[in-house]
Amino acid sequence: MNAKLEKTYREKTTEELELIVADSKTYVEKARQVAVALLEERKQAAEELLAHQQKAAKQNPVLVANSVGLQDSEDEVSVFEELDAPTLYSVSAIVGFSFFFSSIHGSFLMASNFRKLHQPKMAKRVLLFGFLYVLICIVVDNLLNLSVWFDLIWNVLGSMVLISYFWNKHIGKEQMYEAKAVWSPLLISVAILVGISLLNYYYDFLIQLF
């Protein structure tokens, strides 16, 4: 069984796994096999639990009744937790920030998603990628004296890495989430862009002043 796929699918509800098994057009055979294996595992666990409760019922009916009631309560809580999808910056937001600003901006959004999903190591890795990638692009631009249009090409390539590798591999295409508003990072990015533009415009004046 694919370990990473199994880890992702274990977080899904039984209903979601059944949908994956039934949808042969969207999901490959390996993914559907993992879903089938997990469904069988859950079915076996449920049967073992039921057998244990039936055996215990003969020994202490009152205690079993209380434990069943507690189990039902915990199941209700777990169902609500599964339906409570995380709030993440969307794929389109990450691509848009990477294209119109730079890959480091998209990296910050992706790092925020990883922290939300309790993956601090991946958050650090994606930030490191963003800084190194932008630094390499700046060095290449200066060495080859490339036009400003190449910056857009770098941004497109950077966004492709963020989505195809960091999102698809470490978050998962099937990850359910609620799209997070981008107003705060947008205002910060615009402020940084305006600040850099003003600094470049008044650079000579500032040099003479100091």
Q: What local confidence, expressed as pLDDT, does residue 83 receive?
A: 45
| Cα(166)–Cα(84) distance, integer angstroms | 23
- Considering only CA atoms, which of 130, 120, 175 is closest in space to residue 4? 175
- Helices of type H across 117-148: 120-144
Task: Indicate the pTM of the whole model.
Answer: 0.59
| Cα(158)–Cα(99) distance, integer angstroms | 8
Could you tell me the two tokens for 206? 């500032």
User: pLDDT for 150-159, tens place per residue?
Assistant: 899 999 999 9
Could you tell me the two tokens for 193? 């862009």
Q: What local confidence, expressed as pLDDT, does residue 6 receive?
A: 76
User: pLDDT for 33-70, tens place per residue?
Assistant: 887 888 888 888 878 877 777 776 666 655 444 554 54
Question: What sign results for the dihedral spanned by CA atoms 92, 107, 198, 183?
Answer: positive
Domain ranges of the chain: 3-83, 87-209
